[in-house]
Structure 1
Amino acid sequence: MKTAVLTVASRARREHLERQRRVLAEVADDIVRVEVWLDETPPTQTPDAGTLAMHVPPGPHGLRVGEGRNHAAAAAIDAGAELLVFLDVDCLPGADLLPAYRAAAARHPDAVLSGSVTYLSSVQRPETASDLPFLTRPHRARPALTPGTTRRAAPGEFDLFWSLSFAVTPASWARIGGFHPGYEGYGAEDTDLAWTARANGVDMFWVGGADAYHQWHPVSSPPWQHLDDILRNGATFHDRWGVWPMGGWLEAFAAAGAIERRGSDWVRVR
């Protein structure tokens, strides 16, 4: 099964991208590699040999992560890929990630496939694939299955979809239609893709053994630096689906007095 690994990146994550490249070279065989640069200008460094490099500049409101992934998928399909593996620039692939996704795709070719993600701490800086098994601790918010097993997600579990690591065949990607282009900057495009898949009758399966490892970077909770993005993208999601995503963060912002509910909208007040 000819496999493509697709990553969108920016200058702020250059170190993470370099580490991902090194680990991917260890665990991947003959893959189609696509990297999409999301900054205003493309990188000055030459990508690895054989990598399909693309540039999708920001929109008026920020990085176009979803559109970058859409362009990457189109390039991979044009290159003959039979399986699209989306891997966030912060994520390192475990040695069994690609085999697990391929096996799951053979069993469930019409589904979105989601593997587990381990969040690494600030002191955990693995440099080789052999370092990763000792660090495995899947995030508790999502199902973590035994390697070699899969489970169909319940309808309510589509909210747990993360685009950090997932796989899909080109046929299923076409049924979903890709990421909606209306999201720029941070937030909501993941949930929108999952809800679109569910609305179009595309199942999601949790995949055991397809472990990815999220490299540490500073975060805040709630993410104050992304407040305006969350309000704008949340409103786009509300317009499309009738509900607001990221409810926990919105409630936290409201509790801090930064936003308030006015009718069906959330509005910034300071």
Structure 2
Amino acid sequence: MTTAVITVASRSRREHLERQRRVLAEVADDIVRVEAWLDQTPPERIPDAETRTIHVPPGPHGLRVGEGRNRAAAAAIDAGADLLIFLDVDCLPGPGLLPAYRAAAAAHPETLLAGAVTYLASVQRPERAADLPFLVRPHRARPALEPGTTRAATPSEFDLFWSLSFAVTPATWARIGGFHPGYEGYGAEDTDLAWTARAGGVELRWVGGADAFHQWHPVSSPPWQHLDDILRNGATFHRRWGSWPMGGWLDAFAAAGAIEQRGDGWARTGA
């Protein structure tokens, strides 16, 4: 099974990308590697002859993460990939990630596949794949299965799909249609993909052993730096699906007095 590993990258995550490249080189055998760069200008250099690099500059409202993944997927399929593995730039692949996704895709080729994610602490800076199994601590918000097992998601669990680590065959990717191009900047494009899959009858399946490790970087909760993106992308999602995503963050912003409900939408207070 020819496997592609797809990453959307930017200069702000250079250290994370370099660590991902090193770990991926340890755990991957023969893969198609595609990096979609989202900065205004393309990268200064291509890391190696085997890596395909494409450039997707920002739109008027920010980075086009979904469109970057769409174009990278197209490049991977053109290169002959039978399986697309999407891994965010700040995530490291555990030693079992590729084998688990490959086995799950072979058994369930018509499904959207998602593995568990461990969020590393600030002091955890693994440099080798062999270090990662000792750090497994899957996020409690999502199912975490034993290696070698899979489970179909319930309809409500589609809200738990995160695009930082997932896999899909090209045929199923075409059936879903990829990420909707109406999202720029931060938030909602992954929930939209999951809802699109559900609406089209595509099963979401949790994959045990496909562990990814999210590298630490500073964050705020709620993510104040992304407030305008969340309002704009949330409104796009609402127009498409009739409900607002990211409800916990919206409630937190509202509790802080930053936003208010207006009709069936949200807006900055006083705007």
- TM-score, scaled to structure 1: 0.99
1:13 aligns with 2:40: no
Question: Quick check: 2:93–2:212 contact (8 Å CA) kept in 1?
Answer: yes
Letter in 2 for 1:9: A
Deviation at 1:37, TM superposition (A): 0.4
Q: Distance in 2 between matches of 1:127 and 1:38?
A: 25
Output aligned runs, 1:37-76, within 5 Å.
Answer: 37-76=37-76
What per-residue deviation string (whole Å, max 9, x for no partner) do you get for residues 161-204 of structure 1? 00010000000000000000000000000000000000001001
Matching residue of 2:199: 199
Q: Is the 8 A contact 2:19 2:127 kept in 1?
A: yes
Alignment of 1:1-270 (within 5 A): 1-269=1-269
Q: Which amino acid aligns with 1:169?
A: T
Q: Are the aligned partners of 2:46 and 2:53 in contact in 1 as well (CA < 8 Å)?
A: no
CA distance in 1, matches of 2:36, 2:175: 23
Aligned residue identity for 2:211: D
CA RMSD of aligned residues (A): 0.6
Q: CA deviation at 1:46?
A: 2.5
1:4: Cα distance to partner?
Answer: 0.2
Q: Give the C-alpha shift of residue 232 in structure 1.
A: 0.1
Q: Cα distance, 1:129 vs. partner?
A: 0.2
After superposition, the C-alpha distances for 1:36-69 in whole angstroms (9 at most, x for unaligned) are 1000001113322210000000000000000000
Q: Which segments of 5 or more consecutive residues in structure 1 lack a partner in the other structure?
A: none
Counterpart CA distance in 2 for 1:213 and 1:46 is 25
Amino acid at match of 2:101: Y
**Partners of 2:42 and 2:106 in 1: CA distance:** 36
What secondary structure is seen at the aligned counterpart in 2 of 1:132? helix
The alignment-based identity, stated in percent, is 83
Residue type matched to 2:269 in 1? V
Report how far residue 84 of structure 1 moved: 0.2
Q: Distance in 1 between matches of 2:246 and 2:206?
A: 22
Q: What amino acid sits opposite 1:257 in the alignment?
A: G
Q: What runs of 5+ residues in structure 2 fail to find an aligned partner?
A: none
- Please give the alpha-carbon distance, in whole angstroms, between the structure 2 residues aligned to 1:249 and 1:51: 37
| CA deviations over 1:19-42 (Å, ceiling 9, x no partner) | 000000000000000001000001
CA displacement 1:113-164 (0-9 Å, x = unmatched): 0000000000000000011011110000000000000000000000000001
Tell me the matched-pair count.
270
Q: TM-score, normalised by structure 2?
A: 0.99
Distance 1:157 1:85 in 2: 20
**Structure 2 letter corresponding to 1:116:** A
Shift of 1:236: 0.1
